[in-house]
Amino acid sequence: MKFATAALATAALAGTAMAESMAVLKQRKLDTWAAQNEAGVFDINRYAALAATTPCVNNKAGEYACSNVDLISFLRHQDMGSSTRKGNDVWGWTSSTGREFGAVGQTDGTAFVEVKSDGSLVYLGRLPTQTTSSSWRDMKVIGDYVYIGSEASNHGLQVFDMRKLLTITTPKVFSITTDLTAIFKGFGNSHNIVAHAEKNMIYAVGTGTAAGCKGGLYMVNVTNPASPVKAGCLSAGGYVHDAQCVVYKGPDTRYTGREICFNFNEDTLDIVDVTSKTSPVTLSSTGYTGSSYTHQGWLADDSMRYLLLDDELDEQDKKGVAANQHTTTYIVDIALLTKPVFKGTYQSPAVSIDHNQYVLNGRSYQANYGSGLRIIDVSSLSTAPTGSGIKEVGYFDCYPEDDSVGGKAEFTGTWSVYPYFTSGFILLNSIERGIFSLKFTGA
């Protein structure tokens, strides 16, 4: 949680690093993107369409630096019907027959693509924003539905049935009235959407003041997607930037079977038992050295012993270990949910800010802004919990503009990654360029 003013003196005495506020973070990004806009970065035809699949050879795939990651396919934001041509979040959906689709966030809406069996991308259509454009749009999938929120004023939660894509032959602009399964207006703007598929729960985080939840977990029951229902709110820890929620099966057997959320709360990792939606219980709230803006993270393994955490401003603010601006991932031992312990850090060979990371089978797929997709092997944590055994096993740098200076800690490049398709094709959404279909070729 952010320290309230009254707690400032105590925090300073305790030597606790003060984190930036959300307003500061958002403004820094808006300033970056405004300057880029001036420089023509989002102009139409600024980027060339990809002519053909481009394998990574001698650390290059076309203009992109890479290692063990092939460039299979690419669509520019303009090729996906966006008139603002600026990307953000991305998530995936797999149909009952195994066809794979992406929901690609853009400031003016959500574009839909199919990832064909050879990894090539086909644009199918788009769902415009519910209100205005916004740099922040976030989407997650439960079952056959995608749930979309945005910082756009009064946006609410769009519920869209991805099965509508199965029969598309020419790209279609879907209607924000007649093509939605539902529009939930219980909250207006939100910063992120968290999905707990197993429990049919959506947690909107970073909602505005009108939502009355202090930006904490705004809980929406989507058991019936056509009729989302507010189930509760966690405001005790204040603003939540992102979260992962699970049915707990880790080492702290006191909580086996409970619904646990790991909340990234600006300057702390908060662990909360949300089994009761009407009276959630905070189990711990833990700060760490170097904290600047606790942003996102993911459980490092299925046994739920370790968690990876990224701080979005430590590199730019040169705080703690991240003073050298190499992307820094924090490793947290969560053997006791009531007493998480920060064990160490992993630093990328690259200079850049980290944004979103998702773990699959011992690897974390990190979308690290200016250094692009970074794939790290985290399977060593059980024997080396400080992170000393973590190794980069592949990368695809979708932002060549900062390569000549060895990378920069700036809000440019990629926003997010979706690594969960059975086919192994990875979707990487770039803010400037568009959506990449990639393939990891490492061992």
Ligand X SMILES: *[C@@H]1O[C@H](CO)[C@@H](O)[C@H](O)[C@H]1NC(C)=O
> Smallest distance, Å, CB 245 to ligand X?
12
The neighbouring-strand residues paired with 202 are 195, 220
Determine the number of helices (DSSP H) and then strands (DSSP E) in the chain.
2, 31
Instruction: Decide whether 90 or 231 has the Cβ nearer to ligand X.
Output: 231
Structure token digits, residue 160? 């869209």
Mask 265-294, x = binds ligand X (CB under 6 A)? ------------x-----------------
Comparing C-alpha atoms, which of 4, 86, 78 is closest to residue 44?
78
Residues 422 and 46: their CA atoms lie apart, in Å, by: 33
Of 221 and 441, CB closest to ligand X: 221
SS3 75: strand
DSSP string, 337-350: TTS-EEEEEEEEEE
Query: Which of residues 159 and 351 has its CB atom nearest to ligand X in the complex?
Result: 159
CB-based contacts of 235, cutoff 8 Å, min separation 6 = 212, 213, 214, 216
Q: How far is the CB of 223 from ligand X (least distance, A)?
A: 4
Task: Give the residue among 71, 166, 100 at the shortest CA–CA distance from 434.
Answer: 71
Pick between residue 68 and residue 221 the one whose CB is nearest to ligand X: 221
Nearer to ligand X, 201 or 378 (CB): 201
Whole-angstrom CA distances from 53 to 77, 80, 112, 138, 292 are: 18, 19, 20, 28, 39
Measure the CA–CA gap between 74 and 79, rounded to whole angstroms.
10
In this complex, which beta carbon is closest to ligand X, that of residue 224 or of residue 386? 224
- How many residues touch ligand X under the rule CB under 6 A: the total is 5
Q: Which is nearer to ligand X, 84 or 200 (CB)?
A: 200
With CB under 6 A as the contact rule, which of the stretches 112-120, 218-226, 331-339, 388-396 interacts with ligand X? 218-226
What percent of the residues of the chain are helix, what percent strand, and what percent coil, each to the nearest 5?
15, 40, 45
- Smallest separation, CB 148 to ligand X (Å): 20
Shortest distance, CB of residue 275 to ligand X, whole angstroms?
9
CA angle 430, 311, 13 (to 5 degrees): 155
Q: Output the smallest distance, CB 226 to ligand X, in A.
A: 11
* Binding range to ligand X, per CB under 6 A, among 137-145, 147-155, 216-224, 362-370: 216-224
Residues 6+ apart with CB under 8 A from 58: none
Nearest distance in Å: CB 199, ligand X? 7
Paired tokens of 180 = 């939605």
- CA–CA dist 128, 111 (Å, integer): 8
Q: Which is nearer to ligand X, 223 or 382 (CB)?
A: 223
**Residue 363, strand partner residues:** 360, 377
Binding flag, residue 223, ligand X (CB under 6 A): yes
Site map (CB under 6 A) of ligand X, residues 225-264, x = contact: ------x---------------------------------
* Binding region for ligand X (CB under 6 A) out of 18-26, 147-155, 221-229, 316-324: 221-229
Asked if 153 interacts with ligand X (CB under 6 A), we say no
Out of 133, 221, 380, 423, the only residue in the binding site for ligand X (CB under 6 A) is 221
Minimum distance, C-beta of residue 261 to ligand X, in the bound complex (Å): 13
Minimum distance from residue 259 beta carbon to ligand X (Å) = 9
27 scored as a contact of ligand X (CB under 6 A): no
Provide the 10 A C-beta neighbour count for residue 62. Answer: 15
DSSP symbol at 404? G
Q: Nearest 10 degrees: CA dihedral of 131, 135, 136, 140?
A: 90
Nearer to ligand X, 140 or 241 (CB): 140
Write down the least CB distance from residue 184 to ligand X, Å.
14
- Among residues 204 and 322, whose Cβ is nearest to ligand X? 204
Place of tokens 């707690």: 7
Binding-site member from 224, 256, 279, 382 for ligand X (CB under 6 A)? 224
Helix (H) or strand (E) holding 31: helix 22-38
Segment contacting ligand X by CB under 6 A, of 33-41, 72-80, 135-143, 220-228: 220-228
Q: Show the site string, 74-113: x = touches ligand X by CB under 6 A, - = not.
A: ----------------------------------------
Tell me 57's DSSP state: B
| CA-wise closest residue to 196 among 247, 233, 154, 162 | 247
CB nearer ligand X, residue 85 or residue 277:
277
Count the alpha carbons within 13 Å of 438 in the hemisphere toward its beta carbon.
33
Residue number with CB closer to ligand X (221 or 379): 221
Site residues (CB under 6 A) for ligand X?
A: 221, 223-224, 231, 277
